[in-house]
Amino acid sequence: MRFILNITAASGQDRPPQPLYGVTGQAKADEFAVASLDGYRGMGPVRVGNAAYTQIQHDIYGAVILAATQAFFDSRLLQPGDVTLFKELEALGRHALDAFGNPDAGIWEFRERAQPHTHSGIMCWAACDRLARIAAKLKLKGRETYWRRHANRIHGRILRAAWNPKLKSFVSHHGGKSVDAALLLIHEVGFLKADDPRFLSTLARIEKDLLRGKFLMRYAEADDFGEPESAFNICTFWYINALGATGRRDEARALFENMLKHRTSAGLLSEDMHIQTGEAWGNYPQTYSLVGIIECALRLSQSWEQAL
């Protein structure tokens, strides 16, 4: 949490934080290819750095605030959140208000196109929603009213702009005609409940368009690098989580056990999975994939109340 707040503060009130930083907090991560290296199995180019640090991604404001929210509600913490921390988070909330509805690179870090991505908008809503909840916890009635009003406004606009009545589904960007796997997080962040008919029909559309056997694609359309060839592991875990949340626990457990079988001998996963062979592709090891294991294990495990 301290790392996140330090880099957020370093960006200043007027400039939003970047999508990524180095582990020591450095802001620059210039990307270049190493021509002398062929890459694993010749699947180059080998790149150093990550040009995504220069991108605009509007989901980051909500991500930071979501990470900080627990500090205000978890009584086990020795240093709980206070009004000072809340005011720091409000600066991110103001960035979310300015950014909502504007085109960005999105969670998938598209390099050649920008659109008003639905997931980015939902995370802007999450920023406002959590600020309203935190303000209520701190008994700051005026700030609670302010952030709840903005959260409700953004919520209503997303319901109108990101819903495709022909597909009976939310779509990847406002006015779009296709889905992406990030829509599976609609219930996870509390935008809609898991049993909401609109989420259930979105889940059905994602299954129809993105499910490839036991693995889930992040999207089906061509991106900056061509047609997607592999499934994205965190997306498969999001799908498993959604199945568990909607009562399809047996299906979820079977897919979860299948993903565990594809770990390496060290218990790790890569970023992608080859659809036909189940072979590890992409960056390795991939933290995002390992987070998926944790989230699904929590979702599918027996609760303490059931175990007693």
pLDDT tens digits, residue range 77-124?
888 999 999 999 999 999 999 999 999 989 988 877 889 999 999 999
Mean pLDDT of 19-34: 88
With b for 16 or more beta-carbon neighbours within 10 A and e for fewer, the 237-256 pattern comes to: bbbbbbbbbbeeeeebbebb
- Comparing C-alpha atoms, which of 229, 225, 233, 235 is closest to residue 185? 235
Secondary structure element (H or E) that encloses residue 230, with its range? strand 230-232
pLDDT band at 192 (very low <50, low <70, confident <90, very high): very high
If you average pLDDT over every residue of the chain, what do you get? 92
Residue 57's region, left for phi above 0, alpha for psi from -120 to 50, else beta, is beta
Work out the percent of the chain whose per-residue pLDDT is above 70.
98
Confidence of residue 39 (pLDDT cuts 50, 70, 90): confident
Which of 240, 282, 279 shows the shortest CA–CA distance to 262? 279
Between 242 and 80, where is the model more confident? 242
pLDDT band at 245 (very low <50, low <70, confident <90, very high): very high
Which pLDDT score is estimated for 247? 96
Tokens found for residue 205: 């559309």
Provide the pLDDT for residue 13. 65
- pLDDT tens for each residue of 128-174: 999 999 999 999 999 999 999 999 999 999 999 999 999 999 999 99
Q: Between vectors from CA 54 to CA 13 and to CA 231, what angle results, nearest 5°?
A: 120
Q: How confident is the model at residue 52 (pLDDT cuts 50, 70, 90)?
A: confident
Residue 20 neighbours by CB under 8 Å, 6+ apart:
29, 50, 52, 53
**Among the ranges given (52-56, 63-67, 158-162), the one the predictor scored with the smallest mean pLDDT:** 52-56
User: Quick one: pLDDT band at residue 27, thresholds 50, 70, 90?
Assistant: confident
Q: What is the mean pLDDT of residues 232-254?
A: 97
Tokens 């020591």 -> residue: 24
Helix segments in 100-140, DSSP class H: 118-137
Token pair in block for residue 152: 């409700």
Q: What would the mean pLDDT of 280-294 be, rounded to a whole number?
A: 93
pTM of the predicted model, to two decimals?
A: 0.92
In sequence order, the 6+-apart residues with CB closer than 8 A to the CB of 86 are 72, 131, 134, 135, 138, 140, 143
Residue 179 has pLDDT above 90, yes or no: yes
Residue 10 has pLDDT above 80, yes or no: no
Q: At what angle do helices 83-99 and 2-11 cross, to 10 degrees?
A: 60
Share of the chain above pLDDT 90, in %: 72
